Homo-oligomer: A and B are copies of this chain.
């Protein structure tokens, strides 16, 4: 077979919903308008309109198409809820790799994985290719893929790379002019840190998200697409790691918040050297936590 007609089915049902709000005998909007409204091409609209005509819901041709009967629930087309999107796939895949210790060097089976993640094999193939640069995956010489795995080596190198980027961002931050919007954002996120510190006993889980936002604020002052791209990978990995290392979570998070605050203070003092040193320290503990949580995870 060929392409799925998911788009047609969805549009068909959306059109039924739209028609239900119209009075009997009302004229139909133009195809271009409908297409814009549903966010699909005219071709799909035309296919839908034709089907509605055949089902006796619409009548007439050309510009004279009118609603002849209200659609019934029965007219709806069933659409099998399949295929997940790219982001969902990314999340599930990383979850699979990071949560279950898939051993390094495992040969990946396209067909099987595609079934497992309910995506067409083709989509998985493309996804794996796009992951190529992240160093988690390798193309084998004569077909197939190999998972290089989320090893300790990988974590160390990732952390080091993160440090290089982030220290650079710190240096850039202190050089910003006073009126730059980042300073306001920094004050704001400082307040959020203090506020979370107040209710840390209860809401320490909220830190993961705050951490992500803090680091992405720091890096946002370096407007560079390569940095941004890597930042995505890094925050993804660290985000997942937060999800499975539960030991000492409350205390770890509180300590991290305090480290963040010292970095923020140094930045606000425009003390480049101090900020750099603080950030270095923070990133080092972060790396240690990542590594120790990996060890714990392997023993489990």
Q: A226's contact among B168, B222, B230, by CB below 8 Å, is which? A: B230
Closest to A40 in B: B142
Quick one: which of B125, B133, B164, B168 contacts A229, CB cutoff 8 A? B133
Asked if A158 contacts B226 (CB within 8 A), the reply is yes
Number of interface residues of A (CB under 8 A): 25
From the candidates B130, B165, B168, B227, name the one contacting A130 in the complex (CB within 8 A): B130
A135 is an interface residue with CB less than 8 A from chain B = yes
Chain B neighbourhood of A226, CB < 8 A: 135, 157-158, 161, 230
Task: Report Cα–Cα, A190/B94, bound state, in Å.
Answer: 45
Residues of chain B within 8 A (CB-CB) of A164 are: 164-165, 168
A158 CB contacts on chain B under 8 angstroms = 226
Interface flag for A271 (CB, 8 Å): no
A125 to B126, CA, bound (A): 7
A135 to chain B, nearest CB (A): 4
- In the complex, whether A129 has a CB less than 8 A from a CB of chain B is yes
By a CB distance below 8 angstroms, the chain B residues around A144 are: none
Q: Is A109 an interface residue (CB 8 A)?
A: no
Q: Which of B127, B130, B161, B224 is within 8 Å of A157, CB to CB?
A: B224
Interface string of A97-127 (1 = CB under 8 A from B): 0000000000000000000000000000111
The reply on A160 being an interface residue by CB < 8 A is yes
Q: How far is A223 from B160 in the complex, measured between Cα atoms in Å?
A: 10
Main secondary structure of the interface of A (DSSP, over half): helix
- A227, B161: Cβ atoms under 8 Å? yes
A102 to chain B, nearest CB (A): 18
Bound-complex Cα distance A127 to B130 (A): 9
- Distance from A136 Cβ to chain B, minimum over Cβ atoms (Å): 10
Contact mask A142-169 → B, CB, 8 Å, 1/0?
0000000000001001101100110010
Whether A224 lies near B160 (C-beta < 8 A) is yes
Closest to A86 in B: B139
User: Given A135-B229, A229-B135, is A161 in contact with B129 using a C-beta cutoff of 8 Å?
Assistant: no
List, in ascending order, chain B residues with CB within 8 A of A227's CB: 161
A133 to B164, CA, bound (A): 19
Residues of B within 8 A of A225 (CB): 135, 154, 157
- Residues 265-285 of chain A: 1 if any B CB is under 8 Å from the residue's CB, otherwise 0? 000000000000000000000
Interface assignment of A134: CB less than 8 Å from any CB of chain B: yes
Known: A125-B126, A157-B224, A158-B226. 20 other contacts (CB 8 A): A126-B126, A127-B129, A129-B129, A129-B130, A130-B130, A130-B132, A130-B133, A133-B133, A133-B229, A135-B225, A135-B226, A154-B225, A157-B223, A157-B225, A160-B222, A160-B224, A161-B227, A164-B164, A164-B168, A226-B230
